[in-house]
Amino acid sequence: MAASDAIDTRQDDWPAHIHRTFIDHGMRQIAYVPDSGHKELITLCRADNRLRAVSLTTEEEGIGLLSGAWLGGQSGALLMQSSGVGNCVNAIASITRACQFPLLMLITMRGEWAEGNPWQVPMGRAVEPVLEALGVQLARVERSEDVADAVSAMASLAFKSTVPAAVILSQRLIGAKSFQD
């Protein structure tokens, strides 16, 4: 599917491009634990009746949900903040990897570029090594103009090659939290 053909040129509106990519790839279930970096994308997914947007109590639930969706013939994505990666570890190993399920994760980063909360830094640093250890394919995005291609490429990789894949949306791309009114 040539998903990128349909992307317009307003590259700063990257959440809209991700949403469009979900539709172009025929995804149906979008699971999420809210993060401010995903706020606009969550709103777009919830407003689109072609997608079932499922709010989770913890990110680990999304691994089970999307595995069940795949068993039933649907694909989808899991949206989370970097700290959520730590909550998914055993499920990725023991379900996704053990059964060779596809998985597409979109991870908004904390704990790096201009981070103001030191409690975010250790898990942020651990995200990529942990995902590497789990055998998850990674694409890290620093610039808004690269988001749509990265999500489309990782969706193709996940669902056509049946592997787990993650797009790491850097804190530089999203912007650091200000901790001000």
Partner 1 sequence: MTEPLPNRRDVVARLLRDRGRMLVVPGLGGTTWDVAAAGDSELDFYLWGGMGSAAMIGLGLALAQSERPVLVVTGDGEQLMGLGALATIGVEGPANLSVVVIDNEHYGETGMQPTHTGRGVDLAAIAAGAGFAETATITDLAGVDALRPRLHAGEGPLFATVKVDMTPAPMVLPSRDGPWIKQRFRRALLDNDAV
Site membership for partner 1, residue 54 (CB under 8 A): yes
Contact by Cβ (8 Å): 93, 134: yes
End-to-end CA distance of the chain: 43
- With CB under 8 A as the contact rule, the residue among 27, 95, 165, 168 that binds partner 1 is 95
- With CB under 8 A as the contact rule, the residue among 12, 49, 98, 129 that binds partner 1 is 98
Gap between the Cα atoms of 79 and 37, Å rounded: 10
Q: Sort strands 76-81 and 52-55 into parallel, antiparallel or unpaired.
A: unpaired
Q: What is the sign, positive or negative, of the torsion defined by CA atoms of 67, 69, 71, 77? A: negative
Q: Which span (8-16, 68-76, 131-139, 166-174) binds partner 1, by CB under 8 A?
A: 68-76
Closest by CA position to 45, among listed 77, 75, 73: 77
Site membership for partner 1, residue 167 (CB under 8 A): no
Site membership for partner 1, residue 66 (CB under 8 A): yes
| x-or-dash string of contact with partner 1, 9-48, rule CB under 8 A | -------------------xx-------------------
Site membership for partner 1, residue 58 (CB under 8 A): yes
